[in-house]
Amino acid sequence: MGGIHPKEHKLSAGIRIQNADLPIQAIIPLIHYLGASSTAVIAKGDHVKVGQLIGKANGYVSANVHSSVSGIVNRIEGALDASGNEVLSVYIDVKEDEWLETIDKSTDIKRECILSPSEIIKRISESGIVGLGGATFPTHVKLSPPPDKKAEVLIINAVECEPYLTCDHQLMLEKGEEIFVGITILMKGVGVNRAVIGIENNKKDAIALFQKLAKTFEGITVVPLKVQYPQGGEKQLIDAVLGRQVPSGALPIEVGAIVQNVATTFAIYEAVQKNKPLFERIITITGKSMSRHGNYRARLGTPLTNIVEQAGGVPPDTGKIVAGGPMMGRAISSLEVAVAKGTSGVLFIQTLESSRKKMQNCMRCTQCMVVCPMGLEPFLLMSQTERSMWAETEENRIMDCIECGCCSFACPSNRPLLDHIRFGKMTVGKIVRNRHGKKE
């Protein structure tokens, strides 16, 4: 249903992951996700080690934050994050690279998992793991469905449908077996005996490797998928691999599925088998004018500018810098922001491509409806939002929009459909929450 085929531009595909240099000062945000900020458990002047807890989860939908570097806490204050918000962050002056002794730094693969299901979930929660695909929702929450709902199948999201990004792809090639062990841990944790890995056909090498690995693991199958954006969306992926559609407003568990991203699965392997909390991630640095595209393993809190310098610096014809992919990433105003748990890439867009074209009248060509993966009418939602027709937009299911951007991408009249729909969603969301508030 719906979807588009943007040019892939996977320029950094096949480039081995390199370690990003340690920064002089790391700026680690205490919040990486929707939900409550974690509470700082260190103070100015404290000495911290790599992997040490610095922010404690605050409530259910919240996750721990660990230090990614060793050194002295300089201060705790607000810093701009990649979405342009000021968030409370811990500034650490880096000294050496001293890891907590409990972390197993070896690269040997440990297949056997001795923890019980509840211990696995507990370890994931303690390790501060969130969804690394971009939504950064705390993983332990996703793994703990309400007691009346039973998970039947685990789906591993290895789609990486965003153009340009290759961080997941490269991780799969280099850490395939670890990811499979991570999958078995997840299967044990949520109590399912079946896991399906969805990979798009543009990653033939990863499919071949994973199909080979799948023969040595029980209950895990690889499903090659045709290339289509936004297949990496949770609901779209479940539909693609299981043929089940999650109802409007419901969670994947409604159709018996739990979805985890591959990079998250690798982080879970490291947390459970190596006792290593989440303090680094893979990030793609790319763009058409970039001299050295690459995939970097970066510590959280590393200023983006450090990694970009390492990759050859900002291309001179840059008109837009995007944190994330070109379809759903966010334009950033400065590279001084730090790598967060959800930062999957930095994309440099040339001036030529970055400016929007002039908007024309809607000629009702139906393109936006054809590409909408949720079966909505973007042209109508936009015009109703412009007229503040909130009841009608809600009736036309504006809240189902996943903000994939297919409509704006496809519109021949260059209409900013998603901009308006986002605004409409914000307003309708408030109205809906108020209504629920009154009922209770």
Partner 1 sequence: MPKLDLSTSPHVHSGDTVSSKMTGVLIALIPAYIAALYFFGLGALIISITAIGSCVLFEYLIQRFLLKGSLSILDGSAALTGILLAFNLPSNLPVWIVIVGSFVAIGVAKMSFGGLGNNPFNPALVARVFLLISFPAQMTSWPKPMPWNPAYLDAVTAATPLAILKGQFSEVPDTLNLFLGNMGGSLGEVSALALLLGLAYLLIRKIITWHIPISILLTVFVFTGILHIANPDAFIGTPVFHLLTGGLMLGAIFMATDYVTSPMTKPGMLIFGIGIGIITVVIRVFGSYPEGMSFAILILNGFTPLINKYIKPKRFGKVKRK
Can you tell me which of 104, 126, 174, 377 binds partner 1, judged by CB under 8 A?
377
Region label for 291, one of left (φ > 0), alpha (ψ between -120 and 50) or beta (otherwise): alpha
The single residue among 41, 109, 352, 365 that binds partner 1, judged by CB under 8 A, is 365
Is the CB of residue 133 less than 8 Å from the CB of residue 325?
no
Q: State which of positions 20-59 bind partner 1 (CB under 8 A).
A: none
SS3 (DSSP) at 415:
coil
Return the residues of window 221-250 that contact partner 1 according to CB under 8 A.
235, 239, 242-248, 250
Stretch that binds partner 1, among 28-36, 121-129, 176-184, 365-373 (CB under 8 A): 365-373
Among 389, 396, 427, 432, binds partner 1 (CB under 8 A): 396
Residue 375 touching partner 1 (CB under 8 A)? yes
In the complex, the smallest distance separating the C-beta of residue 157 from partner 1, rounded to whole angstroms, is 17
Sorted by sequence, the CB contacts under 8 Å of residue 23 that are 6+ apart come out as 69, 94, 299, 301, 302, 303, 306
* Torsion 36-41-46-50 (CA) sign: negative
User: Smallest Cα–Cα separation from 76: which of 102, 104, 55, 97?
Assistant: 55
Binders of partner 1 among residues 271 to 290 (CB under 8 A) are none
Q: List the one residue from 85, 216, 366, 388 that touches partner 1 (CB under 8 A).
A: 366
Whether the Cβ atoms of residue 201 and residue 225 lie closer than 8 Å to each other: yes
DSSP string, 154-174: EEEEE---SSS--HHHHHHHH
Instruction: Report how far apart, in Å, the C-alpha atoms of 175 and of each of 187, 204, 228, 267, 312 are.
Output: 18, 16, 25, 11, 26
Q: Which of 225, 240, 374, 382 is the binder for partner 1 (CB under 8 A)?
A: 374
- Give least dist CB 220 to partner 1, A: 21
Whether the Cβ atoms of residue 93 and residue 25 lie closer than 8 Å to each other: yes
The site for partner 1, by CB under 8 A, has a size of: 73
The single residue among 16, 105, 215, 356 that binds partner 1, judged by CB under 8 A, is 356
User: Phi-psi category of 19—alpha, beta or left, where left has phi over 0 and alpha has psi -120 to 50?
Assistant: beta
| Cβ proximity to partner 1, 179 vs 238, nearer residue | 238
- At position 404, the amino acid (one-letter code) is C
User: What are the distances in angstroms from CA 207 to CA 203, 265, 316?
Assistant: 6, 17, 37
**Is the CB of 214 or the CB of 331 nearer to partner 1?**
331
252 secondary structure, DSSP code: G
Sheet containing 39-40: order of strands: 39-40, 53-56, 65-66
Q: Residue 342 is encoded by which pair of tokens?
A: 């959800």
* Closest distance to partner 1 from the beta carbon of 149 (Å): 14
24 or 359: CB nearest partner 1: 359
Site for partner 1 in 298-327 (CB under 8 A): 314, 316-322, 326-327
Q: Which is nearer to partner 1, 39 or 83 (CB)?
A: 83
CB of 423 to partner 1, least distance (A): 10
Site map 144..183 versus partner 1, x via CB under 8 A: -------------------x--------------------
Tell me, rounded to whole angstroms, the distance of Cα 360 from its chain centroid.
Answer: 34
User: Where are the alpha helices (H) located in 31-138, listed in sequence order?
Assistant: 117-126
Q: In the bound complex, what is the minimum distance in angstroms from residue 331's beta carbon to partner 1? A: 5
Residues 401-430 that bind partner 1 (CB under 8 A): 403, 405-406, 408-414, 418-419, 422
Select from 86, 101, 353, 386 the one that contacts partner 1 (CB under 8 A).
353
| Upper half-sphere CA count for residue 420 (Cβ side, 13 Å) | 21
Among the listed residues 95, 204, 364, 433, the single contact to partner 1 using CB under 8 A: 364
